[in-house]
Amino acid sequence: MTDVRLAGIGMTSARTRDRLVQRLREQGIINPSVLERIRNVPRHIFVDEALGSRAYEDTALPIGFGQTISQPYIVARMTEALLEAGEVSNVLEVGTGCGYQTAVLAPLVARVNTIERIAPLSTRARQRLKELGIRNVRFRHGDGSLGWKTHAPFDGILVAAAPLTVPEALIKQLRVGGRLLVPIGQEGKQELVRFTRRDQRVERESLGAVAFVPLLGGVA
């Protein structure tokens, strides 16, 4: 990929990205490292070229296979809420999609393990992150609701698709003190929930209403 394509011009330029960062600040995102990632990750390379001019709008956009790239505000909010756990080194991401959330998060932690159930999305995300020089990510094609036992326990787990109830396997794969960020509920009625695993119990906090695609079982 050429430097010009990565840096962006016109509607994908630095000024357009600054406007997005400003908007997220106004909506309450305060972590400077997260805002820096939103400014630096070229979101336009994660969507179809025809949608490139809309890449720095704060909206979800289609990425094929009936899926969407998450809204920048949500990516920033989830990343920020995850990092509040203190030392966050080993992370599991469920729902790689196009890899945008992965690219925002990866340089802020030691390792991201990411699972996607639609094979071509996983393959393309892997290629994009390689082009961006991001190397601390393990990709897997599979059902993320089962977690990824080999690399557990995780300091944090981010789920980018909504189950109806929290997948127990994910809670089990958190270390004590670790956090699971997951949208829960039916389409149109979801809330973003942060679970924190304690010694003998699991804490649950609601972080507000959100809209995600459903978490599905099996692979495609």
Comparing CB distances to ligand SAH, the nearer of 62 and 201 is 62
Q: How far apart are CB 23 and ligand SAH at their closest, in Å?
A: 18
The CA–CA distances, whole Å, from 146 to 72, 76, 78, 170, 176 equal: 26, 25, 20, 7, 19
CA distance 75 to 73: 6
Q: How far apart are CB 31 and ligand SAH at their closest, in Å?
A: 17
Q: How far apart are CB 214 and ligand SAH at their closest, in Å?
A: 7
Number of neighbouring beta carbons within 10 Å of residue 203: 10
Comparing CB distances to ligand SAH, the nearer of 11 and 211 is 211
- What is the three-class DSSP state of 178? strand
Q: How far apart are CB 161 and ligand SAH at their closest, in Å?
A: 4
Q: Is residue 217 within 8 Å of residue 143, measured between CB atoms?
A: yes
Comparing CB distances to ligand SAH, the nearer of 69 and 85 is 69
List contacts with ligand SAH (CB under 6 A): 67-70, 75, 94-95, 97-98, 100-101, 115-118, 121, 143-145, 160-161, 213, 215-216
- What is the three-class DSSP state of 47? coil
Q: Which of 13, 33, 70, 206 is catalytic?
A: 70
Comparing CB distances to ligand SAH, the nearer of 112 and 200 is 112
> 206 catalytic, yes or no?
no
Q: Is residue 82 within 8 Å of residue 31, measured between CB atoms?
A: no
> Residue 102 CA to chain centroid, in angstroms?
5
User: Within 13 A of 189's CA, how many CA atoms are on the CB side?
Assistant: 4
Which residues on adjacent β-strands are paired with residue 115? 94, 140
Comparing CB distances to ligand SAH, the nearer of 114 and 155 is 114
The structure tokens listed for 18 are: 């600054």
Residue type, 63: I
Q: How far apart are CB 60 and ligand SAH at their closest, in Å?
A: 8
Positions annotated as catalytic residues are 70
